[in-house]
Chain A
Amino acid sequence: MTAATDLLSPGGAGATFTGTRSAARLFWERFREDKAAMFAASVIIVLVLIAVFGGPLAAWVTGHPNTTAYNDRMLDPYGVPKGPNSQFWFGADAAGRDLFVRTMYGARTSLFVGVVASGIAVAIGLVVGLTAGFFGGWVDTALSRTGDVMLALPTLLISIGIVAACNSAPNGCLHGLVQQGLRVVIFVIAFFTWPYIARIVRGFTLSIREKEFVEASRSLGASNSRIIFREILPNLIGPMIVYTTLLIPNNILFEAALSYLGLGVNGDTASWGGLLNDAQTYYDVAWWLMLFPGLFLVMTTLAFNLLGDGLRDALDVRADR
Chain B
Amino acid sequence: MKRTTRRLATALLVVAVGAVVLVAAGSGSRAKSQVSAGGTYKVGWEQSFGFTDNMDPVGEYLAEGFAIQTSLLDRTLVGYNHVPGAAGNKIVPDIATAVPTPTNGGKTYTFHIKQGVKFGPPVNRQVTSADFLNEMKRLASPKDGQEYGFYYNVIKGFASGKGKTISGISTPNASTIVFNLTQPTGDFLYRMSMGATSPQPAEVTKCFEGQAGKYGNDLISTGPYMIQGIDKVDISDCSKITAASGYDGTSKMILVRNPNYDPKTDSTAARQNFPDEFDFLIDANKDDIYSKVAAGEFQDEISSPPGQVLEKYYTSHSPLLKQYSGDRTWYLTMNLTAPPFDDVHVRKAFNFIMNKNALVQAWGGPAIGKVAHHIVPDTLFNNQLAEYNPFATPGDKGSLSKAKAAMKGSKYDTKGNGTCSASACHNVYLLADTRGQDLKMVPVIEADAKKIGITFKVHSINGAYPTLQTPSKNVPIGERPGWGKDYADPLTFFTPLFDGRNIIPNGNTNYSLVGITPAQCKTLKVKGNCTNVPSVNSQLDKCSVLIGQPRLTCYENLDKYLTGTVVPWVPYLWSTATHIIAPNVTQWSFDQFSGSTGYAHVAVK
Contact = CB atoms under 8 A, between A and B. Distances in A.
Asked whether any CB of A lies within 8 Å of a CB of B in the complex, the reply is yes
Given A71-B358, A167-B460, A267-B458, A79 B307 contact: yes
B538 interface: no
Contact of A167 (B311, B444, B461): B461
A298 interface: no
B473 A262 contact: no
A58 B317 CA distance: 41
Nearest to B355: A71
Interface in A149-183: 160, 163-164, 167-170, 180
Nearest to B456: A268
B142 interface: no
Contact of B366 (A72, A77, A167): A77
A212 interface: no
Contacts of B447: 67-69
A75 interface: yes
A257 interface: no
What class of interface size applies to chain B in its complex with A?
Answer: 35 or more
A170 B361 contact: no
Contact of B443 (A69, A77, A281): A69
B439 A79 contact: no
B324 interface: no
Interface stretch (B133-141, B429-437, B504-512, B570-578): B429-437
Given A79-B364, A164-B461, A267-B432, A281 B306 contact: yes
Contacts of A72: 358
A78 B311 contact: yes
Contacts of B381: none
Interface in B296-315: 306-308, 310-311, 314
Nearest to A160: B462
B415 interface: no
B440 A94 contact: yes
A267 B361 contact: no
Q: How would you classify the secondary structure of chain B's contact residues: helix, strand, loop or mixed?
A: helix
A78 B358 contact: no
Interface string B419-463: 000000000010110101111101110110000000000111111
Interface in B99-142: none
Nearest to A67: B443
A306 interface: no
Nearest to B470: A168
A71 B366 contact: no
Contact of B474 (A69, A78, A94, A170): A170
Nearest to B460: A266
B368 to A, nearest CB: 8
A268 B458 contact: yes
A251 B311 CA distance: 39
B461 A268 contact: no
Interface string B349-381: 000000000100111111100000000000000
Contacts of B176: none
B467 interface: yes
Nearest to B436: A281
A284 interface: yes
A78 B364 contact: yes
Given A160-B462, A266-B460, A268-B458, A168 B467 contact: yes
A167 B437 CA distance: 19
Contacts of B364: 78-79
Which of B429, B431, B437, B438 has the largest count of A CB atoms less than 10 A from its CB?
Answer: B429
A78 B307 contact: yes
A67 B446 contact: yes
B361 A75 contact: yes
A285 interface: yes
Interface in A272-304: 278, 281-282, 284-285
A95 interface: yes
A267 B461 CA distance: 11
A80 interface: yes
B358 A164 contact: no
Contacts of A163: 462
Given A71-B361, A78-B307, A170 B473 contact: yes
Contacts of B440: 69, 71, 79, 94-96
A72 B311 CA distance: 17
Nearest to A262: B434
Given A78-B367, A168-B461, A267-B460, A97 B443 contact: yes
Contacts of B432: 266-267
A164 B462 contact: yes
A79 B446 contact: no
Contact of B442 (A76, A263, A267): A267
A79 B304 CA distance: 15
B356 to A, nearest CB: 12
A95 B308 contact: no
Contacts of A281: 306-307, 436
Nearest to A168: B467
Contact of A168 (B308, B365, B473): B473
Contacts of B306: 281
B459 A168 contact: yes
A80 B307 CA distance: 7
Nearest to B437: A79
Given A167-B461, A180-B459, A268-B443, A79 B361 contact: yes
Contacts of B442: 95, 267-268
Given A77-B366, A164-B462, A285-B308, A71 B444 contact: yes
Interface string A233-265: 000000000000000000000000000001100
A277 to B, nearest CB: 8
Nearest to B308: A285
A78 B369 CA distance: 11
B459 A167 contact: yes
Contacts of B363: 79
Nearest to B367: A78
A97 B364 CA distance: 17
Nearest to B468: A168
Interface in A55-93: 67-69, 71-72, 75-80
A23 B128 CA distance: 94
Nearest to B444: A69
Interface string B303-341: 000111011001000000000000000000000000000
Q: Which 9 A-B pairs have the closest CB atoms?
A: A69-B443, A262-B434, A266-B460, A78-B365, A168-B467, A95-B440, A77-B365, A78-B311, A71-B358
Interface of B: 306-308, 310-311, 314, 358, 361-367, 429, 431-432, 434, 436-440, 442-444, 446-447, 458-463, 467, 473-474
Given A94-B436, A267-B432, A284-B308, 16 more contacts: A67-B447, A77-B365, A78-B310, A78-B364, A79-B364, A79-B440, A80-B308, A95-B362, A95-B443, A96-B443, A168-B431, A170-B429, A262-B462, A266-B458, A267-B438, A267-B443
22 contacts: A68-B447, A69-B443, A71-B440, A76-B365, A77-B361, A78-B307, A79-B307, A94-B436, A95-B439, A95-B443, A163-B462, A167-B461, A168-B431, A169-B473, A170-B429, A263-B462, A267-B439, A268-B446, A268-B458, A281-B307, A281-B436, A284-B308
